[in-house]
């Protein structure tokens, strides 16, 4: 093939026009809310994990917090410990695992919230999804939006 103006004749230019879904970290309160009730935005968001709506991110400390908080629900819900493990395992299988190597703690009021922010920063997340937005004041310094599950679903056009 003859080259003309830097392009191979007959090949043209190809662009990848697919958009990457937003990468998010779910705060523990969103996961717990989704496990407690099938009626809210938290549940709708959790059911979308593994689709192209978003790409979850986790860290080891965050998953351990998920497990501890979720397993406390066993006595209050119809879920068994095995059900909860399956949900967390599936979420982790769909998630980007991030390793946290930061020494800037404390940044937020609650050290557990720092853990969520650190996972989001390490994974290059665009959003933290939580019910406690005020607790994440400072996340915007890292280019991370803090939204409720309902506001996040509305932003991605998935609010039903």
What pLDDT is attached to residue 91? 97
Full set of structural domains in the chain with CATH: 21-155 (3.40.50.1010)
pTM: 0.86
Residue 9 is predicted with a pLDDT of 55
Three-class secondary structure of residue 138 per DSSP? coil
State the distance between the two ends of the chain, measured CA to CA, in whole angstroms: 52
- Distance between CA 24 and CA 128 in Å, rounded? 6
**pLDDT on residue 4:** 52
| pLDDT of res. 154 | 95
* pLDDT computed for residue 76 by the predictor: 86
The pLDDT value given to residue 106:
79
- pLDDT tens, N- to C-terminus, the chain (160 residues): 455 555 555 555 666 566 789 999 999 999 999 999 999 999 999 999 999 899 999 999 999 999 999 999 998 889 999 999 999 999 999 999 999 887 667 788 887 899 999 999 999 999 999 999 999 999 999 999 999 999 999 999 987 6
Is 113:133 a contact under the CB 8 Å cutoff? no
Q: Which helix (H) or strand (E) holds 11?
A: none
Q: What is the pLDDT of residue 18?
A: 65
Distance (Å, rounded) from C-alpha 42 to C-alpha 153? 9
Q: What is the DSSP string of 70-135?
A: HHTTTTTSS--HHHHHHHHHHHHHHSEE----------SSSHHHHHHHHHHHHHT-SEEE-S-GGG
Residues with Cβ < 8 Å from 4, sequence gap 6 or more?
Answer: none
Q: Check residue 110 and give its pLDDT.
A: 84
Are 60 and 53 spatial neighbours (Cβ–Cβ below 8 Å)? no
């Amino acid at each position: 093939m003859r080259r003309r103006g830097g392009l191979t004749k007959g090949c043209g230019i190809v662009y990848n026009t697919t958009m990457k879904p937003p990468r998010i970290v779910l705060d523990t309160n969103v996961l717990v809310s989704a496990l407690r009730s099938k009626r809210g935005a938290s549940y709708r968001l959790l059911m979308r994990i593994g689709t192209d709506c978003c790409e979850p991110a986790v860290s080891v400390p965050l998953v351990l917090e998920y497990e501890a908080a979720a397993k406390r629900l066993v006595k209050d819900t119809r879920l068994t410990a095995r059900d909860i493990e399956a949900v967390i395992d599936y979420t982790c299988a769909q998630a980007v695992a991030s390793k946290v190597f930061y020494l800037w703690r404390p940044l937020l009021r609650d050290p557990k919230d720092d853990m969520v922010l650190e996972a989001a920063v390490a994974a290059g997340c665009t959003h933290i999804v939580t019910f406690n937005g005020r607790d994440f004041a400072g996340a915007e310094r890292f280019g991370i939006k803090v939204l409720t599950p309902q506001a996040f679903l509305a932003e991605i056009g998935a609010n039903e």
